[in-house]
A and B are shown apart, each in its own frame.
Chain A
């Protein structure tokens, strides 16, 4: 079962909720955690995995064999992104504009184009002390497209557990989504079974929550809401949830103690163990809902 933790607005507590949910789930289930916020991945700061594997990822960009090229210009004609151009007796490739779609490769009448990996980021993976299989995508600074990294991340398969390892429990995947409501959020949600939306009860939280609810609905995914920093702002989020048939599954109050613990890098359920049963209930509620 795959659970996505998303929010719309940044800084509402996605990583706080996702990491605590993973910690509680790992007590009984086999958990795989994917940090899908490739621009600002932070879950490792809370789960402390030993990241012993690193794989460079990116997109396949064209390389033109100058001896075979006849400068016919077909590649430039089919490229929708102006990433390849024929100027006189030269075919130029602009890696930064290339989307790696392969169209130029297939359409070259001389088969003069091959492809090579242009690295845009890395997939780091490993395990936490609690046995959570962990992977994160990290986009390189100066790069523009996170989605290809995200696609690779979703394909990541953890090393099989050692022989004799306890294989009981359910297989759960928790994905920590990026903020916003554009492409990378869709890619994070694609193929998931449930979307847990973390928001704060403010006009900004509500406005951006509506954007991600629209994506979840478009993809036909069931969703529920966690209200974080409950007590600040107003009641508009709760009213919206009621009229939109979105269950509020957990409320975490605005408490300075919680804010301080999270600031220092402690998972919520570790800093405040009273939340462990709350997260257990949250998890069982999600699993039961999806299986129903």
Chain B
């Protein structure tokens, strides 16, 4: 079984549209009925919107604990407020209250309270789900707004996907990653066989791609780069390709700016299924073949 993770650094470069297209293309070829999808962007989970799968199971996700002050025991000494380094405890109307969103769950206040009037409570911070999409099972999750994305929920989504892939002898887990380079990204990269970084030829896209590449390399995962909306700023696309070449990264192709991608999103379809002849679809089809080559033979250099 192989794991391919789609990342970008900068948000909005087209990770989810590329993932959906790959899911569609994979279902047409040798991976038909042998792929499985995981949406690792749990605080902006969008793969479900484009695949419109049938939900099979949803369960709550406990992300950790928060402190709760028992008002009957509290002597209002304020020791809890003074030890909290997360500014999660404040005095309001003569009482000390915990802001559950700011609380880090460290329990420092619990141990400092002279009256033993604080305890920790398990908190449901989101839900984790499995659905059946037209291209294969989809493991996904929803982190409730404002909760801490420590990577634990991403890890759980990926673990559930991996387990099902093993149970059903599926060959490929396609992971739609989150933006950035922090915890959720590290959780998404962990255990991947290959990362495809979708970038765009903008000053921001290039800047964030470099940081994302460093992160992926830090964790020893081989990386490929593709450039979305490549024709919007051809000089930027050239700079990215030169940068990749200089750093030994395989830039495997470009996707032109194409409004079909937005139309496909509205229609709830992968662009390659929605308009197979659109310029973006043709480019994605060629890209997918190169990605498959790299997945099957990691040392092969695809013919670009």
Q: Hey, which bits of chain A sit against chain B, CB under 8 A?
A: 8-12, 15, 37, 39-40, 42, 45-46, 78, 80-81, 99-103, 106-107, 139, 141-146, 178-183, 185-186, 190, 202-204, 207-208, 211-212, 214-215, 218, 232-234, 254, 256, 259-260, 262-265
Contacts and interface: CB of A to CB of B under 8 A. Distances in A.
Contact of A8 (B44, B219, B259): B44
Given A9-B44, A39-B182, A207-B46, A180 B149 contact: yes
Contacts of B178: 180
Contacts, number: 193
A42 B148 contact: no
A15 B204 contact: yes
Given A45-B207, A107-B111, A141 B179 contact: no
B262 A233 contact: yes
B211 A40 contact: yes
A141 B218 contact: yes
A219 to B, nearest CB: 8
Contacts of B259: 232, 254
B254 interface: no
Interface stretch (B9-17, B273-281, B283-291): B9-17
Interface stretch (B69-77, B98-106, B242-250, B293-301): B98-106
Interface residues of B, number: 67
A101 B88 CA distance: 12
B256 interface: no
A171 B12 CA distance: 32
Given A190-B102, A233-B265, A78 B11 contact: no
Given A99-B106, A102-B85, A233-B265, A11 B11 contact: yes
19 contacts: A10-B12, A39-B181, A40-B208, A45-B204, A46-B203, A99-B104, A106-B83, A106-B112, A180-B43, A180-B44, A181-B146, A185-B146, A186-B102, A202-B266, A203-B46, A204-B44, A208-B46, A254-B259, A259-B229
A257 B233 CA distance: 10
Given A10-B44, A10-B179, A262 B202 contact: yes
Interface string B129-155: 000000000000001011111110000
Contacts of A259: 229, 232-233, 257
Nearest to A40: B208
Nearest to A265: B203
B166 interface: no
B236 interface: yes
Interface of B: 8-13, 16, 41, 43-44, 46, 49-50, 65, 83, 85-86, 101-102, 104-108, 111-112, 120, 143, 145-151, 178-183, 185-186, 200-205, 207-208, 211, 214-215, 218-219, 229, 232-233, 235-236, 257, 259, 262, 265-266, 268
Contact of A146 (B46, B182, B201, B215): B182
Contacts of A180: 11, 41, 43-44, 149, 178-180
B174 to A, nearest CB: 18
A132 to B, nearest CB: 18
Contacts of B236: 263-264
Given A40-B181, A107-B111, A260-B232, A142 B11 contact: no
Which of B104, B120, B204 has most A Cβ within 10 Å? Answer: B204
A278 B25 CA distance: 44
A40 B104 contact: no
Contacts of A12: 11-12
A101 B108 CA distance: 7
Contacts of A80: 65, 105-107, 120
A263 B182 contact: no
B12 to A, nearest CB: 1
A202 B261 CA distance: 10
A260 B106 contact: no
